[in-house]
Structure 1
């Protein structure tokens, strides 16, 4: 503001006052003097007005006296218009400083008029002051000026500085009112055209506004990908061409690189990028990793290292969207892992985060070489966040080849982990063993060792699935029973584990008789009976049943019978109602053994557990093929005669779909987006988007929300099953796989591309979407019928009524399907809207409803006409297609939906 002596003297006087009372007196004296000068009949100069206003602003900013603040505001209001209207830059800037700091409610109309005049002025300095003021406002009072701001932004005569200021101001106004761009859609192409401007500062200022536009018109922004690729190439690969004023810490405009990559990450998914742009972006990734990888880990200057890391990690995030080759992923991985040697904690954390993302792209063939270093960090690093991320990376790098090494090492380091991390490591071992194990005995040994770990609370489903594997593999019956007795529950040196006791309850009761040659029946019974008083009531209930089953194996053993009755008699008086009832019923069963009916009931209730036939656990398929499962010994199977069993045809049991799948399935017949499925763990939203002009291909975008408030969704897999692969009518490809881990509250995404090759697609040929994930240690499986209908490949065809009638008559000899649909109180408007939503254009009609569309396949198109005749409590649906046999198929889809709405 220049050298203003009066202001400096006033500040010096205030600082020299030792008491607040003296300061208050000096302030009041100055305010009175300023008011007197402003009201002087002789007037004051612009310099004096500026000086007095600056004094008032200083008082406002430093004084705690309420009366003084009121006087400041009222005194300054009268001079604001004069300052804002001044032709002198320093005076005008003080005017803007005043209205920015003081809440001048009475002068709002005057201020708005002055600001608008400065926006429309041909003076660039006035433009800049007005734009700065609007851009820093936090209320909506200046939203009416948005058109003036846009005029500066779009003007071909505006210099780069003004365009930068107006772009940032426009972005701020769009934040205050999100409807600005939707109400001014013609502005969007003009704003996006500025992306071609060579000025890098303008590009940096423009990107936040372009990012906002993605919410309103993503497709137009995606057309700028070649432009963004060229700019990124300039900054990364041709940085020698960039002006030195944009070089920061040896990198060309690192802020612009980061913002460009973030925007590209947002607009690249689900977009078919051109080959040239893809090549440029991949070259940028390769160059950045080569140049900055070693630099960021070895450079001593902290500021330069941080800058390099920001750019490096931003480029790596972009690489994930470009689906690089395995060689590129490996090169990136080798470079980033060197950053784990960095002295900076944030650098190590970000490096681990990037490595986890990279490992999800391709299975690294040589991941074994990275593991020793990672286990060293996991065991010795002091920071818990680093250790947790390291554990996640180890988990991501594990496959069937290194599974045994990883589990052994995790067991070794588990004692050095804190409680939370120990729990997480145990869960990881469980998931990895189930995911990759191929040796059933190794799996059993690993799970037993895991479940014997102290200080870890295991999910019930973990030990239950272990029991499933044992029961479904006859070769494991003896092996698992021997191991659990000799090495765990019968081993006094082994730590106590109630979870293993639960497993022992089941397998000893079922298969203990198979090991009596080495471990007597009496010893087995005594072992479980001794454990009875060390476990919870729930496990005691299991033990009572197991003791009863052991007694059934050797009913003649009076010793076992005596001990069993003693335990049951004790629990008849238990304070726990469940144990009391169970003991009472078991005693009754034993007492009824003296008659044939009682013996039959005893044998039937305590029959050997049948094999599991559920397909939810993938290990049941790897370890126990259906032909190898032990036969169930239940009463129904035993009563079948041999020749009756041989006559039973072997049929492939159809796996049922997940309950409540129909709701989302039929909702998406009529709509292009909506909730596809929802339960307590996940919410899946599906958006169906036709691709290309021929409409023969659709993209199915799935957004998966983790609704759980307690656990991540781990090992998240989506696959297509029940899908015809030989000459299929559909070609279904998963083009984007979801992340394997969806954290609490986060979303995952998946995209499936569906192309219609042949129109002869019946509802029975629609494939199933299979979703598998682990939540809280338990595996979950969903089977959902994909909402792929012939109507999704129909687009409207506008026809005049005479033309429609001519086509209808011509197609009479080709194909027609006619159906009467019972629907009470159906309205004409509803049917018209329905036909329009599923792809048919309405034709000008009278008493009938006529509509037309084109059914698209990858090979040819078929004209499709629909006529609806309304009747009382029903209507008649007639469909004709220009291909024999297609009309019934199209009609069936429509009728099936109408009967299920």
Structure 2
């Protein structure tokens, strides 16, 4: 039927298009919905034509993004209409408005079945299309046998059979039991002999799903798949309508090769030879051309062929051909092709020995490491890591070190770890390995895990020839004005053990080494102090007979730390002081550390544990589990010392709990002292290392840790979905619209203590608040703007679990032009970003208005700004261990604010920016005090590290004495940094999900205008 045949629908679409703004459009839609609702109440008086027209209007309104919560029954009832125009509308609208679990669908099962088994092909297609889009388990149980009969029927036209194949695929995914392997395998093989490519393509989709779950029963289909590929590769009997830019049915080629990858092997030599001939033809016939559409189609076929070649473990000659082809792809300008080329090269390294051939493209791969696209850079890094060996390790590691200086936060830790592993595995000499690790620590100390410096200590300890060189390099790095804390630790350890080997060098006397190390003591965290104390003891031991001035200096330090609150530091200081008074016996007690036992590198294990799946690996997993939902696993990185790391106990004399039962982990010093009875060893829990470190750009590496899971909260800003989920809920049933943007008003009141929370033509709700510590006193001002009273007034506070809120009685009637005041008391029980909701309703004349409004009793209201000095800040920061009291996260998608604007933003939320605490001008240090009934006054410290080269990312470290407060504050600050301004975040109308085109069971239109799409339908 032409659009002109439905004049009412045409006029409605024209009216919508002519609306000047969203408010006009909403008013026109509300008017039309009211008219439709009224007409549906007297359904018996509607002609089929009128019902069809109103259902079309409902669909159009739904496609505009408005919620349609009625009329579903009328749409479903049109499915049983005897004539095609009404039945078509019923099927299309039902497919769009309802999902598989909707109760109304049960009413249509019998009608749909009658259409499927009937003689009318048009009705069969409509029914199969709807079931293929939204069919669930109930449809699968009821309709699967009938759909199978249609698929196998020789009397049905291909048009019906291909829809039947896709419909059966949907039903199989919903309930695999509907297809019996024993009875279906032969029929599936029979379907693969089909000459019609439409039916064959649909059947191949079904086969991919079947063999992904269980391939054993479908061996008879394998040679049929190879014959299909042969037919396509030779372009035999391929209709023109199935040829895409000269490529015979690329969709069928991809599906067929994907199905073959689910079979483990191909034993038959003839079948295997035929398949390799086809694959050879595909590899030879694919190249990069200017036409993007042809490239997409040909490359889809090519990369599936490459996956099949690797799966079949082809001969090396064919593998070499594949690598050569991929080498062309990684050199083109198109980023998608480069990405796929790099990823497939990496996969080839995993399955076959083509490393020497891939090395020829090393220069181009290194160029990709500097690509603007981070996805390409990641793939290039994976490939360089996989192709590295002794012959090219030096070049690759030097490139990684050079790239490390400019790499973004998201890649630095992975870069550091992989560079360290490559340097260890393929070092041409050990001095080069030491150089690489020290450069790593110097350039990216924040992102170098403890395992890396533990490993270099093991190498130096176990190789006597390397010890003088390592000591010289450590001494050189200590001369730098600002070095990372990890560099301080590794340098102090090496110089403590082997600094005496440099005694004849200028600037390397025991006193000079002590002075240069002691200069760094004020800058390190609590976890590093035990290492420095051990170094001082070793220096004193190596300077026998001691220099009296040096001895007194070191003794003073030991005496100072005898009263430390940290057990580890206190015990070391006491014992070292006592031992150092034994004179020459100190040399025997603090003898050089024994060699470490040989064991597997913990770095390699860590790289394996934190390996990130590539897109292709994820795709393979998805094929194996068609219906499983992908979940993000939280990787917890093990930072223990068990895998060959020098435990803190090996750096001194205290016996600490070890994660390894190996006796060799106990140092010679410990064994000697135990035998002589000179120590009273105490098993004490070592304080957790401050993995997030200190403020002065010398922090330890970030490590994965199990963070508290966020509650289902809508934060201060929330997301667009959260905002509309609360604010417009009352509007959906209201014809009364608010004045102004509700989200903007809420945001403003989150920053100030008085203002308007809500306003419409009849009422204005204002707030005035006073906040003290963990308590708040608010007053709601309810003002009637009209000359008539507001009646049936009700206000209900819905508080989250962390707030105790008490609202005084609200009068049921507000007199004309009057204002009433309603006090509201708030008590904050514990940290949370959840917000309370005011459920407010009233009646004016015949208008019943109900709105749900977020209340500005938000987390920052319980913050008090505080400015602290460096003398106050650093002890607090160091006293807090790692997670969960101190959390760190790299935040991306940040609004690129200049630092002064970012500082003003934090200050507006009572987060005080403290200038001068961080020497890096690109960083901000923030302090505040949080109040709640459970924590009382709790100091919270924050450090923001920005990247001058990329203002859209930063690293944030948050620390406090309460794990919940640390997590909530971290998430709160992150929300303020990545939010979109409220004017663009909260839409003026409730946003309903737009149905995908596939659900409409129609071809996609060439325009985004729903009116034009409906015109195409009609």
Does the 8 Å CA contact 1:452/1:495 hold for their aligned counterparts?
Answer: no
| C-alpha displacement of 1:460 | 1.0
State the alpha-carbon separation in 2 of the partners of residues 536 and 282 from structure 1.
Answer: 62
Matching residue of 2:195: 198
Among 696, 705, 709, the residue aligned to 2:635: 709
Does the 8 Å CA contact 1:461/1:777 hold for their aligned counterparts?
Answer: no
**Equivalent residue runs for 1:602-641 within 5 Å:** 602-603=586-587, 605-617=589-601
| C-alpha displacement of 1:681 | 8.4
Task: Report Cα offsets for 1:185-220 as digits up to 9, x if no partner.
Answer: 523432343123233222211123223323553212
**Equivalent residue runs for 1:679-694 within 5 Å:** none
Structure in which a larger fraction of residues adopt helix: 1
**Pairs aligned (count):** 601
Matching residue of 1:499: 486
Superposed CA RMSD in Å reads 4.2
Matching residue of 1:540: 529
Task: Report Cα offsets for 1:377-420 as digits up to 9, x if no partner.
Answer: 323x3222222222222222211110011122222333232233
Does the 8 Å CA contact 1:128/1:162 hold for their aligned counterparts?
Answer: yes
Matching residue of 2:227: 230
CA distance 1:327–1:442, shift in 2 (3 Å): farther
State the alpha-carbon separation in 2 of the partners of residues 420 and 777 from structure 1.
Answer: 11
| C-alpha displacement of 1:446 | 2.0
State the alpha-carbon separation in 2 of the partners of residues 517 and 79 from structure 1.
Answer: 99
Matching residue of 1:636: none
Does the 8 Å CA contact 2:521/2:529 hold for their aligned counterparts?
Answer: yes
Aligned partner of residue 6 in structure 2, secondary structure:
helix
CA distance 1:74–1:537, shift in 2 (3 Å): closer
Does the 8 Å CA contact 1:469/1:619 hold for their aligned counterparts?
Answer: no
| C-alpha displacement of 1:250 | 1.8
Matching residue of 1:509: 496
Matched, 1:422 2:416: no
**Equivalent residue runs for 1:299-448 within 5 Å:** 299-360=289-350, 361-379=352-370, 381-448=371-438
State the alpha-carbon separation in 2 of the partners of residues 241 and 543 from structure 1.
Answer: 80
Does the 8 Å CA contact 2:128/2:164 hold for their aligned counterparts?
Answer: yes
CA distance 1:133–1:409, shift in 2 (3 Å): closer
Does the 8 Å CA contact 1:467/1:503 hold for their aligned counterparts?
Answer: yes
Matching residue of 1:285: 279
Task: Report Cα offsets for 1:10-37 as digits up to 9, x if no partner.
Answer: 7459968999599689869987998457
Task: Report Cα offsets for 1:551-578 as digits up to 9, x if no partner.
Answer: 2233212333233223222333445443
| C-alpha displacement of 1:134 | 2.7
Q: Structure 2: any 5+ residue segments left out of the alignment?
A: 19-26, 63-67, 612-630, 640-700, 704-1018
| C-alpha displacement of 1:464 | 1.0
Task: Report Cα offsets for 1:499-555 as digits up to 9, x if no partner.
Answer: 233233333333333333334444334433344334333322112212212222332
Among 535, 546, 552, the residue aligned to 1:557: 546
Matching residue of 2:447: 457
State the alpha-carbon separation in 2 of the partners of residues 243 and 80 from structure 1.
Answer: 35
| C-alpha displacement of 1:369 | 3.6
Does the 8 Å CA contact 2:151/2:161 hold for their aligned counterparts?
Answer: yes
Matching residue of 1:820: none
Matching residue of 1:132: 129
**Equivalent residue runs for 1:721-740 within 5 Å:** none
State the alpha-carbon separation in 1 of the partners of residues 491 and 41 from structure 2.
Answer: 93
State the alpha-carbon separation in 2 of the partners of residues 10 and 127 from structure 1.
Answer: 28
| C-alpha displacement of 1:97 | 5.2
State the alpha-carbon separation in 2 of the partners of residues 37 and 419 from structure 1.
Answer: 65
Aligned partner of residue 286 in structure 1, secondary structure:
helix
TM-score, normalising length: structure 2: 0.53
Does the 8 Å CA contact 1:204/1:256 hold for their aligned counterparts?
Answer: yes
Q: Rg bigger for which structure? A: 1
State the alpha-carbon separation in 2 of the partners of residues 257 and 331 from structure 1.
Answer: 20
Higher RCO, 1 vs 2 (CA within 8 Å, ≥6 residues apart)? 2
CA distance 1:414–1:494, shift in 2 (3 Å): farther
Among 171, 188, 205, the residue aligned to 1:208: 205
CA distance 1:325–1:590, shift in 2 (3 Å): same
Does the 8 Å CA contact 2:147/2:168 hold for their aligned counterparts?
Answer: yes
State the alpha-carbon separation in 1 of the partners of residues 58 and 145 from structure 2.
Answer: 34
State the alpha-carbon separation in 2 of the partners of residues 502 and 73 from structure 1.
Answer: 70
State the alpha-carbon separation in 2 of the partners of residues 148 and 102 from structure 1.
Answer: 25
State the alpha-carbon separation in 2 of the partners of residues 423 and 345 from structure 1.
Answer: 24
Task: Report Cα offsets for 1:767-795 as digits up to 9, x if no partner.
Answer: xxxxxxxxx999xxxxxxxxxxxxxxxxx
Among 253, 259, 263, the residue aligned to 1:257: 253
| C-alpha displacement of 1:429 | 0.9
Does the 8 Å CA contact 1:532/1:540 hold for their aligned counterparts?
Answer: yes
State the alpha-carbon separation in 2 of the partners of residues 579 and 79 from structure 1.
Answer: 81
Matching residue of 1:147: 145
CA distance 1:280–1:92, shift in 2 (3 Å): same
Matching residue of 2:218: 221
Matching residue of 1:748: none
CA distance 1:461–1:473, shift in 2 (3 Å): same
Task: Report Cα offsets for 1:233-289 as digits up to 9, x if no partner.
Answer: 3223x1254222210122111111222222223x134x3543333333333333223
Does the 8 Å CA contact 1:282/1:322 hold for their aligned counterparts?
Answer: no
CA distance 1:94–1:579, shift in 2 (3 Å): closer
Matched, 1:567 2:560: no
TM-score, normalising length: structure 1: 0.59
**Equivalent residue runs for 1:854-873 within 5 Å:** none
